[in-house]
Structure 1
């Protein structure tokens, strides 16, 4: 017997939880699918946000693109969990088709052209979550979200993972379409990502895991206005500056400078929301020589000036 959650009608689920259900026509005669827009945000936080989620039964996904040999480029991250059916995935790094089956999750990355879907005469069922923001950029590398391995299998039953996806997105379904979602909503997604990644994380040697844990802890413990001395950090591990930088990037996925910069901007984002501290004071507190250099650095990470970020967050 099929699991109860897998057999639930999307129209019924939309009536219970919210969102918008459509029995949608396709490009071919007689082609239809059940489409449930669970959640959508038109003004996502640059720090981190769920931007859209849908669940689709009898989906054709990118069949037309696959048939034409075309790839689409996406500006955000996306997780596509296939609950029924089979198909393939292609991207710029994988021109040969990668097989996809029920129980697999596809990871789509910003700026990487891709296409996926079932065979031309078939359909599959899926649930997907789109997301963006600097808190998710930190998941790239270190055996976590990895563009080199865009298709992974989740070992637990499909019904278990469908419920976990629902745990993340169903609280958003009751919001009006276009609503702004909170960092707490993004936090539920990071919890899901952590659980997913824990099932596939590539095994590093225990010494490597201890090393990167200590290296990151040291950087996080630095005072916000303290300069990052890579030579000193390397000496703490009996490594030269270059060897330290390379090892950190190999195990963490980003350079020490990028890791610390991202952490400082995340802290600044919280300060802008939680306090009335001025941008000028915040700039000096975080070690920048001028408010202008802080604002320029902040905008590189978030896409917004500190003033605009605070204004949007407190609206």
Structure 2
């Protein structure tokens, strides 16, 4: 499959935090792996893995790999790999080639490219000979994601997409998976919602590529909502003013760039905080609701069930079993 011969590239630079440092901070499991290439190793951070799929679908595995050799064995053997799940592979450093059984042969790929892999579609990819690359990947499955397959969405005919700037999109990947890096947590519907929001944002970028300025704007807008104290109600007029826009223009721009409205983003963030409290503390549900700015326990229960599909009590019982 790979026929291009090139001179070995220099070693990848360490521009970002080491995977061990990220694992120490956020959780997951860090290992140094060997065996594929004699005498060489790769840094492997298994961020999360779950064998308990939600009925609607969700994330099953995510890892970030530095000095990866990709699918070098399959390439040597001239064989395709077929997954039973969807997978997104985002290249952070390096370059290589990609082939699949739908007609893509030795397609050049480089840092900033996203590989969209589909269930039962054979594929192979790896760095150029004599080189390595850095990547982050997410695997997921379920009917919630099948609806995102098609033209201008997750399209098997377009397995290679471009996402830039890289630091922004690496941050978005981390926002989707890092909440599940903590030991003992299993994916919930709120986690599926974060991944769907990421996919929606990516798809909108492919349809209408965003400028660096737009990426900076949505990063600032998201940060403003996240940093808003949980007990302070969201005021869209104030949020829009902070971003230099009128309310209507702010709401439209936020949804176009983020894939969801500011109100939905804020609600998901608060319920995500509630999930962490329910799993990691023995605080009462009413106390958690009030600390997150919900004025009544009834409203908290309703919003929690709308986003996760479970009541707070059911979520806590499942998470602690």
Matched, 1:144 2:153: yes
Answer with 5-14 or 32-41: which moved more. Answer: 5-14
Matched, 1:96 2:102: no
How far has the Cα of 1:142 moved from its partner?
3.4
- 1:35 pairs, out of 44, 47, 51, with 44
- 2:119 pairs, out of 95, 101, 110, with 110
Distance 1:83 1:46 in 2: 32
How much is the aligned-residue C-alpha RMSD, in angstroms?
2.8
TM-score of the superposed pair, with normalisation by structure 2: 0.60
TM-score of the superposed pair, with normalisation by structure 1: 0.61
- 2:128 pairs, out of 115, 119, 124, with 119
Does the CA-based 8 Å contact 2:180-2:186 persist in structure 1? Answer: no
- 1:181 pairs, out of 178, 181, 187, with 187
- 2:179 pairs, out of 166, 171, 177, with 171
Report the equivalent of 1:160. Answer: 168
Report the equivalent of 2:204. Answer: 198
* 3-state SS in 2 of match to 1:47: coil
- 2:92 pairs, out of 83, 87, 91, with 83
* 3-state SS in 1 of match to 2:106: strand
Report the equivalent of 1:18. Answer: 27
Aligned residue pairs total 209
After superposition, residues 26-65 of structure 1 pair within 5 angstroms as 26-65=35-74
Report the equivalent of 1:128. Answer: 137
The change in CA–CA distance for 1:314 and 1:11 in structure 2 (over 3 A counts) is closer
User: How far does the alpha carbon of each residue in 1:153-186 deviate from its partner, in whole angstroms, 9 at most, with x for none?
Assistant: 11x221111111001111110133xx43101001
After superposition, residues 148-297 of structure 1 pair within 5 angstroms as 148-154=157-163, 156-176=164-184, 179-201=185-207
Distance 2:15 2:204 in 1: 24
Distance 2:134 2:31 in 1: 15
The change in CA–CA distance for 1:174 and 1:6 in structure 2 (over 3 A counts) is farther
Q: Which runs of 5+ in 2 are unaligned?
A: 1-12, 210-304, 312-317
* 3-state SS in 2 of match to 1:161: helix
* 3-state SS in 2 of match to 1:144: coil
Q: Which runs of 5+ in 1 are unaligned?
A: 204-268, 276-311
* 3-state SS in 2 of match to 1:66: helix
Distance 1:147 1:5 in 2: 33
Does the CA-based 8 Å contact 1:63-1:120 persist in structure 2? Answer: no
How far has the Cα of 1:56 moved from its partner?
0.2
How far has the Cα of 1:124 moved from its partner?
0.4
How far has the Cα of 1:314 moved from its partner?
12
* 3-state SS in 2 of match to 1:7: coil
Distance 1:73 1:114 in 2: 7
